[in-house]
Structure 1
Amino acid sequence: MQKASSIKGFSSLVQSKNNLVDREGSWNVRGGSSARFADLGFISSKHRKVRYSHGKNLNKVLGRKCITGLRCTGNDRLRLGQSCKKQDVEGHAVSDSKDENGISHNSIVSQEDLQSEISGGSHSSPVENLRPRTEGMVFGLGQPGSWDSMEVGCPVVRRYLGDNEQRWYMWYYGRKKGSRDSVGLTVSANGIHWQRGTGRIETDDDVGIVMECSEDWWAFDTEIVRPSDILILSSEKLKASSGVYWMYYSGCNADEINVPQVLLGNPWMFEETGLESTLFRSLPGLAMSPDGRNWARIEGDHHSGALFDAGTEGEWDSLSVGSPQVVFHSPDDLRMYYHSLDVKSGCFAVGVARSRDGVKWVKLGKILEGGPPGSFDEIGITARQVISNQNGHGYMMIYEGVAADGTRSIGLARSSDGLKNWIRCQNEPVFRPATSSNSWDNRGVGSPCLVQMDENEWRLYYQGVGSAGRSGIGLAISTDGSLTNFQRWHGFHV
């Protein structure tokens, strides 16, 4: 088995009073197909390219003496210590155009042009009713032959705020026909119009592919890599731009699971002819980055490099561990929510694990199962996002529910402590597939990701799939603060 290189002096983050400090140990960092991360090419706070030789301290790789006093800056907002690309003063979107070399440039798009671009044009025609309806779509498939031309999904969206500016980042997976997954990064000035990259990133402000499947034959993520969550840990004494990005992701190899009778996907797998019924055994992975673009895989305790294994035979999560999402509850209490298919019940369920350092995890068991017969989540719950309640008490879980016919909708549940006693907020989904036969997302909506705009307004980014099996990333808005009623985005909204 190929040996991974070891970075000494930084492995276990433990609580010391109110701070997290580093304890002597080691993390294993995998290279493989991570391009620049075969030698962990971090960018320091001075934007110098720094590379390490095997055995150097990880703190030196990050361009500073030590990382102490780590804290979670929050998933949705980060005070930037660096400049952002400016948004047009009139609130217009920033469009992405490319020169003959495929390099992206910014230009201003009017509100009317943007709506026409996304909706397929405003001029009526005799075949208007035959065109796919794109209400809510903000990010579709790439150009034919490009790396994300076959499928896009699993959006992880973060809004970063400067003094007078904002920058939006979205990590997602994509693939083209006959290829494996890649994780891509796209950026936006308003969270609606996104710059698209045509290949692997080349510069420090580029967009495109940021992580690919592993080339290590023994690894758990040789076929599929799909982002589930992004956390940023930073020090009280350092600017946020010096923080470290932690990506939790689902990885799969060629290990297939034969599960008959229900339409499954872990995560969703689509072809031009429709939904495949193959379930791949997924496991949770972790990667780190100084800038959200250059990532290094951190090896977990499992022999495949995953953070931990699926359960043993007879346990509810014995088939897989999917869509790991982590909540920073306190400096020594991180909680990972994940889903699996319970063989005994035949339904998806959500479980939770806890950790002191974000790397070593202890499972606590199943916390939420499928709904009653006939409900929108009868077959269970898959991808989800857990957030702290707005009033500071308890937690909310927005989740992808699977109906008996395989239809995916989005539901909402709450809990006082985030560990047990999860209760559905209502019997109906908070967001459904479109009802029109030619809508782009009439087959299913899932992989929800919430971003809070102000006290009452929330954005819901989601993966949608249409009747032809084509996927895209959509946006819905809730303005009453309840999170129980979302409407597809129909016009320019910032």
Structure 2
Amino acid sequence: MDATSVAASTMKALNFLATSTTRRVANPINFSAPRPSNTKPNLLTLYVPNSNPRNNDLSLTRCSSKPDTNTDNVKDQNPTIDMDLNSKDPEALKPDSNETPSSTLSSPSSSTSSSSGGLVFDLGVTSSWDSAEIGSPVVKRFLSDEEERWYMWYYGKSDSNSNPGLDSIGLAVSSNGIHWERGRGAIQSSSDVGSVMNCGKDWWAFDTLSIRPSEVVIMSSTKVRSSSAVYWLYYTGYTSEKAENFGNSLEISLENPERFHNDGGSGGKIFKSLPGLAISQDGRHWARIEGEHHSGALFDVGLEKEWDSLFIASPQVVFHTSGDLRMYYHSLDIENGQFGIGIARSRDGIRWVKLGKIIGGGKSGCFDEFGVLNPRVVRNRKDGKYLMAYEGVDAKGKRSIGLAVSPDGLKDWTRFQDEGVLKPSMGNGWDNKGVGSPCLVHMDGEEDEWRMYYRGVGNGGRTGIGMALSQGSDVGSFRKWTGFHL
């Protein structure tokens, strides 16, 4: 099956499921026989011709550093591959200019005082789907001749009495990546904003407790227009199954999913998490894709005594070339008591082979002494090297953001420096307790600037999403955004 057939089959499945935001379907590339009904009841299985993943020539949509009127990818047999270039605005994601999102709310985060430096996205209004906690930003910038559009998928938790603690993934949109339109509740249409995906409801699923977005990869074929692209959401799913109870064996409090307002607790509360995949045509209506694991996840934790035997989290995927996708994820290495980042590779984005841990804890006394987690890897289009932004944990549990670089994205990762490039605020700043979950966006312009979106945690565990800017092309130095300077 060629890439056009694969994309067409995938989009047919999406059209069939357009009425639901979180239906669960079988693998859209290679469908296996349904599992016994006593293992997974009510499983919706769609059948398409089997295919060899070696022949699946899926690729990212055409990327461009400048707006381009040519949306036809037929002649572009070798598009530039880089997830974080400023992608051409896919028509499927672009809202109708005559239709105002029905659930749009103004973001309450426009303050630029010293205590809110960097903050661009605050908690939602009371009782909204994201009123209690937000984080895990996945930001994409799309360019067209007419406009600039930004999309941010992020995690949210509600404080509503009717749905206390409900975990969801949502979408916000912006024209400049700073001032965002958001929704109070679930989306109602393909031009809406708000909550787009909830936790799984099947008792056997891996994502019944919490879900966190890690990456959105925009897939298409060189024979398919970008307006027919399919959006692949890689996310972390959690269950209420405890991975292990450490008691007080570790020096700092741990919790997975990590909620910082529980700092100072007894620690040792780690829930099992695994990587998942969902697909969409509009970035709003998602269909879960069945992985090879019995829970629907893409793959399982490692064997006993392997470095990733506890959980798999933050599966961020980089499309290197056709037939070569790389997944970066983190776990807690119980042997040395440190968080670490590993890598897996795939030909089709669904079946993965682990290659092992690629980076672990830093030097004694450094900002990442206790380990590294929540990786975000992009390919620098200037020199072709791979840049990794990651969250580092020091000996006291405080989180900062660091950078590492690799010539090929597979090995030989080298830290930029022993200090973090972005640190928590001093005093009573909104992010004075920790910063993490970085997301890098490479901007256009003569200065070759980078943006870094991140989750910040402040007093009482209050969370927000911030933005920092590089000093021109120097990715080793970031400053938190404090407003426009004319």
Q: Say yes or no: TM over 0.5.
A: yes
Residue 125 of structure 2 is aligned with which of 130, 143, 151?
A: 143
The amino acid of 2:254's aligned partner reads L
1:230 maps to what in 2? 216
The amino acid of 2:125's aligned partner reads Q
Output the CA distance in 2 between the equivalents of 1:151 and 1:309: 28
RMSD over equivalenced CA pairs, Å: 3.3
Output the CA distance in 2 between the equivalents of 1:283 and 1:275: 25
The amino acid of 2:400's aligned partner reads S
2:478 maps to what in 1? 486
Q: Output one character per residue of 1:255-313: Cα deviation in whole Å (capped at 9) or x when no partner.
A: 12323332324342144887784322110000000110000110111111110000111
Output the CA distance in 2 between the equivalents of 1:377 and 1:196: 34
1:411 aligns to what SS in structure 2? strand
2:33 maps to what in 1? none
Structure 1 residues 323 and 207: alpha-carbon distance in aligned structure 2, compared to 1, 3 A threshold: same
Displacement of 1:171 after TM fit?
0.2
The amino acid of 1:451's aligned partner reads V
1:376 maps to what in 2? 367
8 Å CA contact 2:155, 2:169 repeated in 1: yes
Displacement of 1:200 after TM fit?
0.6
Output the CA distance in 2 between the equivalents of 1:313 and 1:145: 42
Output the CA distance in 2 between the equivalents of 1:179 and 1:334: 34
Residue 299 of structure 2 is aligned with which of 290, 301, 308?
A: 308
Q: Output one character per residue of 1:388-410: Cα deviation in whole Å (capped at 9) or x when no partner.
A: 13334321111100111110000
Gaps of 5+ in 1: 1-12, 41-52, 60-66, 88-96, 107-113, 123-131
Gaps of 5+ in 2: 26-43, 62-81
1:200 maps to what in 2? 186
Output the CA distance in 2 between the equivalents of 1:358 and 1:393: 22
Comparing 234-243 with 157-166, greater Cα deviation is found at 234-243
Output the CA distance in 1 between the equivalents of 2:151 and 2:390: 21
Structure of higher RCO (CA pairs closer than 8 Å, 6+ residues apart): 2
Count of aligned pairs: 426
Output the CA distance in 1 between the equivalents of 2:480 and 2:425: 9
Displacement of 1:235 after TM fit?
2.2
Residue 221 of structure 1 is aligned with which of 207, 210, 215?
A: 207
Structure 1 residues 24 and 183: alpha-carbon distance in aligned structure 2, compared to 1, 3 A threshold: closer
Query: Deviating runs (4+, > 6 A) in structure 1?
Result: 23-27, 29-32, 272-276
1:268 maps to what in 2? 258
1:397 maps to what in 2? 388
2:153 maps to what in 1? 171
2:227 aligns to what SS in structure 1? helix
How high is the TM-score relative to the length of structure 2? 0.80
8 Å CA contact 1:269, 1:276 repeated in 2: no
The correspondence of residues 12-411 of structure 1 with structure 2, limited to 5 A, is: 22=6, 35-38=20-23, 55=46, 57=48, 69-73=57-61, 74-76=82-84, 77-82=86-91, 84=94, 103-104=103-104, 118-119=110-111, 133-177=115-159, 178-256=164-242, 257-259=244-246, 260=248, 261=250, 262-271=252-261, 277=267, 278-411=269-402
8 Å CA contact 1:81, 1:239 repeated in 2: no
8 Å CA contact 1:119, 1:133 repeated in 2: no
Comparing 306-315 with 255-264, greater Cα deviation is found at 255-264
Displacement of 1:103 after TM fit?
3.8
The amino acid of 1:195's aligned partner reads E
Output the CA distance in 2 between the equivalents of 1:428 and 1:471: 23
1:138 aligns to what SS in structure 2? strand
8 Å CA contact 1:248, 1:285 repeated in 2: yes
Output the CA distance in 2 between the equivalents of 1:37 and 1:162: 29
The amino acid of 1:156's aligned partner reads V
8 Å CA contact 2:450, 2:470 repeated in 1: yes
Residue 454 of structure 1 is aligned with which of 427, 444, 463?
A: 444
Residue 423 of structure 2 is aligned with which of 408, 413, 432?
A: 432
The amino acid of 1:470's aligned partner reads R
The amino acid of 1:75's aligned partner reads M
8 Å CA contact 1:86, 1:189 repeated in 2: no
8 Å CA contact 1:70, 1:233 repeated in 2: yes
Q: Output one character per residue of 1:131-175: Cα deviation in whole Å (capped at 9) or x when no partner.
A: x92111111111122211110000000001111311100000100
Structure 1 residues 301 and 403: alpha-carbon distance in aligned structure 2, compared to 1, 3 A threshold: same
